[in-house]
Structure 1
Amino acid sequence: MKPTVLHLIDCLFIGGGEMQMADLLRRIDREKFRPLVGCLRKQGQLVPVLEEAGIVVEEFPVRGKLFYPRSIREILRLARFMRRERVRIVHTQDLYSHLVGIPAALIARVPVVITNRLDLGHTMKRWHRLALKLLSFAITRVMANSEGVRTMLIEEEKIDPGKIELIYNGVNLDQFQIPSKEKGPVPLVRDLRLEPGDRPIVVVANLWPVKGHEILFEAAVRVTAYYPTAKFVLVGTGAARRAILEARARELAIDKQVLFLGPRQDVPQILPQMEISVLPSLAEGFSNAILESMAAGLPMVATDVGGNREAIVEGETGFLVPPRDPETLADRILRLLGDRERGQRMGKAGRERIETTFSLQRMVTETERFYERLLEERGAGARGRGPEGQKIEADLSRVKVSP
C-alpha cells in the first residue's frame, strides 16, 4: 500500500505557500504517494482546483484559542482521521497548521512529521515561537525554502541544522510565455489600462506593510520625474491597505502612475506585458513573485532580504538593493528603463536560471525523495497498523468528538 501524506494548512486562498503546495500535490507521483489535504478553514480559490485533481480536502475547523474545548475536540478528530486514513506523513504548511497538526500527529503516532518554514518569522509572536519550541521534539524535519530561512532557524530558533531540509520553491514554466519573433507577441490582458508608450513596472505582492509599497512610492516619485510614462502596476490582495496606499499615492502626486489591479489569477498572462518587475519587501523567505517574474523573462529589482539573493544573480538576472532605500531602488529602476537591451539580457538570463535551478519538476522530485528517505529512516513505508497502532485506534475511538 502506498503511503498517505496529509498536508495540513490554514486555508486555500491564493498565496505563495498555498500555490506551492497545490502545484506539488497535482504533480506528485500518485503511484508512490496518496495525498490528502486538511484545512482549518475550507475556503479559497484552490479548494476546487485540488478537488478537481482528485485530492480529498477535509475541514478541521479549529476556531478561537487552541485550548478551548471545541478546538481540542477538533484536534482529537484530526488524530482519528490520521489513524483511519493510515497517514504515514503529516506535512504542516503554516503557523496554525503546525500548532494543530503536530499535537494531532503525536496523538495518532504518525511516524513522520514535517513542518514547512517559508518566511523569516517576522509575523510570529513570542508565544508562537515558544509553542513551536515545546512541540519540536515531535517534529521529524523542518523544511526551509531558502538558506536565509535556514540560517534564521539555526541562529534565532536554535534548531539543530541536521533537522532542517532545504528545498527551493519551483515554478511551472509551462504557464509563462515569452514574446518572441517566432511566437509573436503575447495576447494583451484586458483592463490593464496601459497606453501605447507606457513603461510598465509590475509589483506582485499582497498589500501588506512588510512588502514595502510605501518605499516603492518614494522611489516612484524619482522615477516618474525622469520617465513620466512609467506606470507602476500593483497586483495583490489587501482591501484595507489599498485605501491607505491610494491616499499616499495622491499625496505624492503619483496616483496617475500607480495602477491597483487587486488580486488576480492571471499573473502569468500579466507579466509578459511588463518591462520590469520590482519587489521592495522588508522581509522575505523565498519569493514566488521573483521566480515567476524571472520565468516570464523580466529583469528583477528586489531588496536584499531573506532568500532573494539566492534567486537573483546581482547584475546578471537583476539588481539587489538595500531595504528601506528608495534612492537606490529608484536608481536601479532608472538604469533598466534607460537601457532596454540590458533589461532584455537580464530577463533572458533569469528565464534560463529558472529552467536550470528552480523548475517545478525539480521541486516535486526533491520532495518525493525527501519523503521516501524519511519513511525509510523511520521504517514506516507502506506498512499497515500493527498491534500498537490498533491499540491507539481503539483508544481514540472512545474519545467523544461531537460538537
Structure 2
Amino acid sequence: MSDGTGREPIRVCFPFVGDDVGGSHISALKLVQNLDTSRVIPVLVLQETMGPLAAFLTRESQPFMGLPPLTTLPAKGTTLGGVATYLTSTLPQLSRFIREQRFDIIHTNDGRTHINWGIAARFAGARLVWHHRGDPDAKGANILGPLIADRMVTVSRFSRPKHPIRSFNGRLSVIHSPFDQPSVVPDRAAAKATLLKELGLAPGTRVLSFIGGLIERKRPLLFIDILDRFVREHPQIPVVGCVFGNSPAGSQDLESAARIRCSERGLGQAVRFMGFRNPIEPFLAATDVLVVPAMGEPFGRTLIEAMFLGTPVVATDHGGNPEAIENERTGFLVTPEDAGAFMEPLSRLLSNPRLWARISDAARDHAFFSYSTHRHVENVMKIYDGALCSRKAGLAFDLTSEIGG
C-alpha cells in the first residue's frame, strides 16, 4: 500500500541483540507502534529470539523476526581475530540480509548494533540512522558515527557527541524520547495500598523508589546509601526503599552488591528488591518520591513517566536531568554523588503535603505540555526523509539542528 502519493512505504529495520530490556527498547517500541504504516514498515530484528527482549515484545503483542546466529563484533574489548571474523563472515551475512529484506533504513539504538549493523548498512546501500542514547564521550558516537551515519539522533543536548572526529554538518538532531500521555492515571491511594499490602508494611509507610537497570551509571548502590542515611536521620518518618530493576545479562551484578550493602548497613526490610515490573505505572503511582541518583543519564524515561503521574522526583543535577526538571518547581536537582544532598528535599517532600502537591501538580502540567509520542514520531519521520534524500542529493548543512520534544 502506498502513502497516497504513489510512493511505496519505506522499510525500516530496528535491530537488537535481545539479551536485555531497558529504556532504549521501550522508546524504540513506542516509535515502532506509532509510525504511520502507509509511510513506514518497521521491522524489529532480534539476534536472540529466546531472550528477555523477545519475551517482552511477545507480551506487548509486537511482531519481530529472528536473525541467524552471527559472530558479532563486541562494542568493547574486541580482538584482531574478532575484527577479522566480523569482516570476513558477519559483515557479508548482515549486508546480504539487509539487501534481501530490502531495508531502506537501518535505525540502530545501542552500542553493539551501531557498530555491527551500521557498517553493514553502508555496505548494503541502506541509510543509517544512529540513535545515540548514551555517553557523550562514547568512542563509537565520536569516531565511527560521524563517518558512517546518515543521521544521528541524540535523546538530549547532554548526550550529543563531545568530540566528533568529523563535523556532522547538520546530520545531528536532538529529539527527546517518546512518552505516551496516560489515558488513565492510577489511583494513588489504591496503588499505595496494594504495594504496601504486597510488602507486608503498615499503612502510612512512605515509599522511595529507584527504577531502572542496575548498572553503574544509574548508581543503585548510592540509592542504598541514601536510604540508609535517611532512615538514620529521620526515624520519625516510616519509609521503605523499593528497587525496581535487574542487573542486565553480562554486566556487573550490582543487585547482589546492593543486597550485601543492605545487610552490612542493617537495613533489613527497609529496602525491597522488586525486580523488573511491567507496566510500571501502578508502582510509580504508589511511590511518594522517585529518587534518581544517576550520573550521565542521557534522558531518563522513568523520570518523565513519574512526572506524568504527579510523582515528585529528586534527581542529580547531571546528565539530561536538568533538561527535564526545573529545580524546586517541577522537582528537585541535587549535587551528584552525595547521599547527604538528597536529605533536605526528601524530608521536605515527605513532611510538607502542600509542597508535595505543588511539585506534583507542576511536574504533571509540564509533562503533558512538553512530551508526546506524536511529536516524537513526526520528528523522527523528518530524520528518515532527510536520510533518504541527503546522499542522493549530496546536501551539505552547516548547522547542527535541534528538535525538541
TM bucket (normalised to shorter chain) is 0.7 to 0.9
Match of 2:21 in 1: 14
Residue 130 of structure 1 deviates from its aligned partner by 6.3
Q: Deviations over 1:317-337 (max 9, x none)?
A: 110111111111122111111
Unaligned runs of 5+ in 1: 381-403
CA distance in 1, matches of 2:55, 2:366: 32
Compute the RMSD of aligned alpha carbons.
Answer: 2.6
Query: 2:43 maps to what in 1?
Result: 36
- 1:218-239: CA deviations, max 9, x gaps? 3223322314411111101028
Partners of 2:57 and 2:32 lie apart in 1 by 8
Do residues 139 (structure 1) and 149 (structure 2) align?
yes
CA offset at residue 47 of structure 1? Answer: 2.6
Counterpart Cα distance in 1 of 2:333 and 2:145: 37
- Report the 3-state secondary structure (helix = DSSP H, G, I; strand = E; otherwise coil) of the residue aligned with 2:314: strand
Equivalence map 1:179-190=2 (5 Å): 179=187, 185-186=190-191, 188-189=194-195
1:345 and 2:364 are equivalent in the alignment: no
Secondary structure of the residue that 1:365 maps to in structure 2?
Answer: helix
The one of 87, 107, 111 aligned to 1:91: 107
Greater Cα offset, 166-175 or 275-284: 166-175
1:143, distance to aligned residue in structure 2 (A)? 0.8
In 2, Cα distance between equivalents of 1:50 and 1:265: 12
Q: What amino acid sits opposite 2:66 in the alignment?
A: E
Hey, what's the Cα distance between the residues in 1 that align with 2:176 and 2:304? Answer: 11
Question: 1:52-86: per-residue Cα shift (whole Å, max 9, x none)?
Answer: 75644232533364435377433322211221222
Structure 1 residues 71 and 50: alpha-carbon distance in aligned structure 2, compared to 1, 3 A threshold: farther
Residue 345 of structure 2 is aligned to residue 332 of structure 1: yes
Residue equivalent to 1:118: 133
Cα separation, partners in 2 of 1:379 and 1:130, compared to 1, 3 Å: closer
What's 2:241 paired with? 232
Which amino acid counterpart does residue 114 of structure 1 have in structure 2? V
Matches within 5 A, 1:2-401: 2-11=9-18, 13-47=20-54, 50=57, 55-63=63-71, 65=73, 66-69=82-85, 72-110=88-126, 112-120=127-135, 129=139, 133-134=143-144, 136-150=146-160, 153-155=161-163, 159-160=167-168, 162-174=170-182, 177-179=185-187, 185-186=190-191, 188-189=194-195, 191-224=198-231, 225-226=233-234, 227-238=236-247, 240-379=253-392
Which residue of the partner structure matches residue 392 of structure 1? none
* CA 146–70 in structure 1, closer or farther in 2 if over 3 Å, else same: closer
Alpha-carbon distance in 2 for matches of 1:114, 1:345: 40
Q: Is the 8 A contact 2:153 2:172 kept in 1?
A: yes
Local SS of the residue matching 1:310: helix
- 1: distance between equivalents of 2:370 and 2:229? 35
Deviations 1:241-273 (A, max 9, x none): 222212211222223211110121231111111
Letter in 2 for 1:235: F
Contact kept, 8 Å, 1:12 with 1:18, in 2: the verdict is: no
- The SS at the match of 1:232 is strand
Residue 178 of structure 1 deviates from its aligned partner by 4.3
Question: Distance between the aligned counterparts of 1:26 and 1:214, measured in 2?
Answer: 35
Do the aligned partners of residues 223 and 117 (structure 1) sit closer, same or farther apart at CA in structure 2, a change above 3 Å counting? Answer: same
Q: Is the 8 A contact 2:46 2:64 kept in 1?
A: no
Give TM-score scaled by structure 2 length.
Answer: 0.83
Offset of residue 191 of structure 1: 2.7
1:2–1:33 contact (8 Å) kept in structure 2: yes
1:336-380 CA-to-partner distances (Å, cap 9, x unmatched) read 111122112212221222211122222122212321233233459
Confirm or deny: 8 A CA contact 2:210 2:242 kept in the other structure. Answer: yes
Q: How many residues align?
A: 369
Give the secondary structure class of the aligned counterpart of 2:107.
Answer: strand
- Percent identity over the alignment is 23
Q: 1:374 to 1:68 in 2, by over 3 A?
A: closer
In structure 1, distance between residues paired with 2:184 and 2:347: 26
Contact 2:129 2:387 in 1 (8 A): no
Structure 2 CA distance for aligned equivalents of residues 299 and 257 of structure 1 = 20
Contact 1:299 1:350 in 2 (8 A): yes
Cα deviation per residue 1:129-155 (whole Å; 9 max; x = unaligned)?
Answer: 2696246322111110001012xx034
Q: Which residue identity is paired with 1:143?
A: V
